[in-house]
Structure 1
């Protein structure tokens, strides 16, 4: 990695993982956020992949969110095959594995739904307290309430995003609801990777906005492959997080067969 990359993690520089196919997670020492997008175009079938993935997500989301579920299931396949060295770029989107993508994505959807339901009461409390202060009619309390509401929502959103990612990773890799909620592992992941998660979401958010904008300019038809590019880049980023986590002493998650529909 070039030393003038402003988005590289400061410690240790980037170590390209040694690629093998023995199923062992290949650790890396630091993040390269720009690589998440760059790797999208290193696959010789990149255009076909992003086009199919974009179509699956766009069309499938009209069918009970199936497109998003399949997309996240494919994302976990990217994470597994890249992190274990089976590919240096990412695996092709294989329609023959549609059922596997759907199953892995379903487990992630399920734990995400449960996580959201558990977080909902906390979100309600965080909104109700400032609302009660505003209801007093006192201008000073109203201002304080507005500031508190902003701080509460901002902090809650960050914490929720940090927590849900390791849960998603575990659910997708293990295809298990109970194994997804290993709180010791989740805490370890968050404590080791929270800085990289926040920085990465900001950087990828900005880059994704530009990619989607370009897709919209291309007669709006380009939004389909643009969505595929963003989704693959996002899972390239998550793969890096997982590998750096292992490099920092984190415990790899046991990959399990998805079974069949």
Structure 2
């Protein structure tokens, strides 16, 4: 990648990892946001992969979110394979690993649900305060309550998104519920990567919106491979975040086999 890429993170001196076989995470110096999408098409079977992922997500989501869980499990295997140098693109979707995808994704899904439930009381408190101010009889206090509600929800959303990534990565890579809640590790990850997390979320959201729009224009059928492209790009981004975190002195997550539920 060129060093004048305007979408690369501030430390744009690439020491791209080389494949290794010892299972250790290969660090990198910066996040290249455009590469997250560019790498999607470097796999010789890219169309098969994006089509399968799009179909799995579409069909499986009618079965209690099974599709999302499987896609997430595949994303975790992608992250592990790429971050440890087993591939320079990403592994193909393998139907023989369907069970592994399901189990690994389940732990991430479970932690995500619990994390979301933990945030609900905060949301209800904010909603209660807004309602109390709106019913105070003062137009000024009512307007203030509405403004504060949306401001605090926005801030809470940012904090939640920053914490969600390291939390769920730990759950998926370790296939464990309790191991996910290592708050010291999560704090360290956020402190080292919060800038890239926010910038990446903004840029990838814009690009993803454009990709899905193109898929919609393509007789709507194009939405299926477009969704697959977005999902692989998202996991490429998570992989880069993890590698840059390791490059900045972070501790790698011990990888465990999926085993069984």
Short-chain TM bin: over 0.9
Distance in 1 of aligned mates of 2:123 and 2:55: 34
* Distance across 2 between alignment mates of 1:56 and 1:11: 37
SS in 2 for 1:88: coil
Q: Over aligned residue pairs, what C-alpha RMSD do you find?
A: 1.0
- Partners of 1:140 and 1:45 in 2: CA distance: 59
- In 1, are the aligned partners of 2:28 and 2:244 still within 8 Å (CA)? yes
- Map residues 202-241 of structure 1 onto 2, 5 A cutoff: 202-241=202-241
Alpha-carbon distance in structure 2 between the residues aligned to 1:140 and 1:152: 18
Look up the match of 1:82: 82
Q: Mean alpha-carbon deviation: is it higher for 168-177 or for 118-127?
A: 118-127
| Post-superposition CA distance 1:92-133 (Å, at most 9, x none) | 000110000000000001111111111110111122112211
Q: CA deviation at 1:11?
A: 2.0
Aligned to 2:248: 248
Contact 1:82 1:239 (8 Å CA) reproduced: yes
Query: Does 1:163 find its partner at 2:163?
Result: yes
Map of 1:198 onto structure 2? 198
1:106 correspondence with 2:106: yes
1:12 Cα deviation after fit: 4.4
Question: Runs of at least 4 residues of structure 1 off by over 6 A?
Answer: none
Q: Aligned ranges for residues 110-129 of structure 1 at < 5 Å? A: 110-129=110-129
CA contact 2:214–2:222 (8 Å) conserved in 1? yes
Q: Residues 26 and 243 of structure 1 are in contact (CA less than 8 Å); yes or no, is this contact kept in structure 2?
A: yes
Please give the alpha-carbon distance, in whole angstroms, between the structure 1 residues aligned to 2:220 and 2:39: 24
- What is the CA–CA distance in structure 1 between the aligned matches of 2:191 and 2:146, rounded to whole Å? 30
Q: Tell me, what secondary structure is at the counterpart of 2:67?
A: helix
Output one character per residue of 1:66-91: Cα deviation in whole Å (capped at 9) or x when no partner.
00000000000010000000000000
SS at 1:33's partner residue?
coil
User: TM-score scaled to structure 2, two decimals?
Assistant: 0.98
2:36 matched residue in structure 1 = 36
* 2:3–2:12 contact (8 Å) kept in structure 1: no
Question: Equivalents in 2 of 1:108, 1:114: separation in Å?
Answer: 10
8 Å Cα contact 1:14/1:32 also seen in 2: no
Provide Cα deviations, 1:111-167, integer angstroms capped at 9, x if missing partner: 111111111101111221122111112111122112101111100111111111111
- Segments of structure 1 that go 5 or more residues without pairing to the other structure are none
**What is the number of equivalent residue pairs in this alignment?**
261
The DSSP-based 3-state class of the residue aligned with 2:9 is coil
Give matches, 1:138-149, under 5 Å: 138-149=138-149
CA distance in 2, matches of 1:193, 1:10: 12
TM (norm. structure 1) is: 0.98
Cα distance, 1:21 vs structure 2:
2.0
Tell whether the 8 Å contact from 1:57 to 1:71 is kept in structure 2 after alignment.
Answer: yes
Gaps in structure 2 of 5+ consecutive residues: none
Q: Please state whether the residue corresponding to 1:259 is helix, strand or coil.
A: coil
For the Cα contact (< 8 Å) 1:17–1:28, is it kept in 2? yes
